[in-house]
């Protein structure tokens, strides 16, 4: 199986469980009704009548004020749940369709890898701009071999017409095709170590065997995008 020439540190994220405990305390309050009813009446018969007329007035007002309170809960129930965000594909099975591409061969060492790839894309874009040819897709890097010091690659840009006046390292061909697994990397090129470490672990866990190559499709233009804002699809062709 192809050995990815990227050294990375595996990060272990311990899982944490959150338990919630709820306790309720119920308090009973003495009812004021007996106190109101137990009013001494040693006074003449005229005294009880104002007391009786005063008691209905306060009892009616609390009943009226208590009725509108249940109308408050409905606004809380109308709140909608937050939308669920989907994660980037990781190990998604896909089929690569071949595309006509203009490509340039190159070699690079790991210390200056990204700068070398950018220079290759610059050369291809300069050729296309000079001839008024627009790219027909995203720029790609196809890694053909790796070792301890560096790698060889093909920088490719999809086109619909054949450009002319190619340099000796440039040619017209087709991008890779066939079954592959799709992964997504977000961030700088240097931080792709973690992505490739995760890819290697995924292949080992699933007992899958990859071909001796892998492809990076740059969804963001590496010539115009800040390196820490890159979004790259990584395709791993399977045997």
- pLDDT above 90 (res 5): no
pLDDT in tens, 121-136: 999 999 999 999 999 9
Q: Which of 101, 171, 169 is nearest to 140 (CA)?
A: 101
- Res 227: pLDDT: 87
Domain 90-237 annotated CATH 3.20.80.10: yes
- The Cα 118–Cα 228 span in angstroms is 14
Provide the residue ranges of all domains of the chain, joining segments of one domain with +.
90-237
Structure tokens at 110: 């790991």
Burial class (CB in 10 A: 0-12, 13-18, 19+), 161: middle
- Res 70: pLDDT: 52
pLDDT in tens, 191-239: 998 999 999 999 999 999 998 889 999 999 999 999 899 999 999 999 8
- The Cα 220–Cα 163 span in angstroms is 23
Strands 90-96 and 214-218: unpaired
More confident: 7 or 160: 160
- Res 37: pLDDT: 43
- Res 6: pLDDT: 46
- pLDDT above 80 (res 34): no
pLDDT in tens, 49-83: 444 444 444 444 444 444 455 555 555 545 555 45
pLDDT over 90 percentage in the chain: 59
């Amino acid at each position: 199986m192809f050995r990815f020439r990227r050294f990375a540190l595996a990060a272990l994220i311990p899982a944490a469980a959150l338990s919630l405990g709820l306790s309720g305390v119920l308090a009973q309050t003495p009812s004021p009704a007996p106190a109101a009813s137990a009013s001494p009446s040693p006074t003449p018969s005229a005294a009880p009548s104002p007391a009786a007329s005063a008691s209905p007035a306060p009892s009616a007002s609390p009943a009226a004020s208590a009725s509108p309170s249940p109308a408050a809960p409905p606004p809380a129930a109308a709140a909608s749940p937050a939308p669920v965000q989907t994660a980037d594909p990781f190990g998604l099975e896909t089929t690569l369709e071949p595309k006509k591409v203009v490509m340039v061969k190159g070699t690079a060492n790991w210390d200056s890898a990204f700068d070398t790839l950018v220079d290759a894309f610059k050369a291809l874009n300069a050729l296309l701009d000079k001839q008024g040819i627009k790219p027909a897709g995203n720029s790609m890097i196809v890694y053909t071999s790796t070792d301890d010091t560096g790698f060889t690659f093909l920088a490719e840009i999809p086109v619909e017409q054949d450009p002319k006046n190619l340099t000796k390292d440039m040619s017209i061909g087709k991008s890779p095709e066939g079954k592959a697994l799709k992964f997504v990397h977000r961030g700088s090129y240097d931080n792709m170590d973690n992505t490739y470490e995760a890819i290697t672990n995924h292949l080992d866990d699933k007992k899958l065997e990859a071909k001796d190559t892998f492809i990076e499709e740059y969804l963001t233009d590496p010539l115009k995008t800040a390196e820490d804002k890159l979004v790259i699809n990584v395709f791993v062709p399977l045997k």
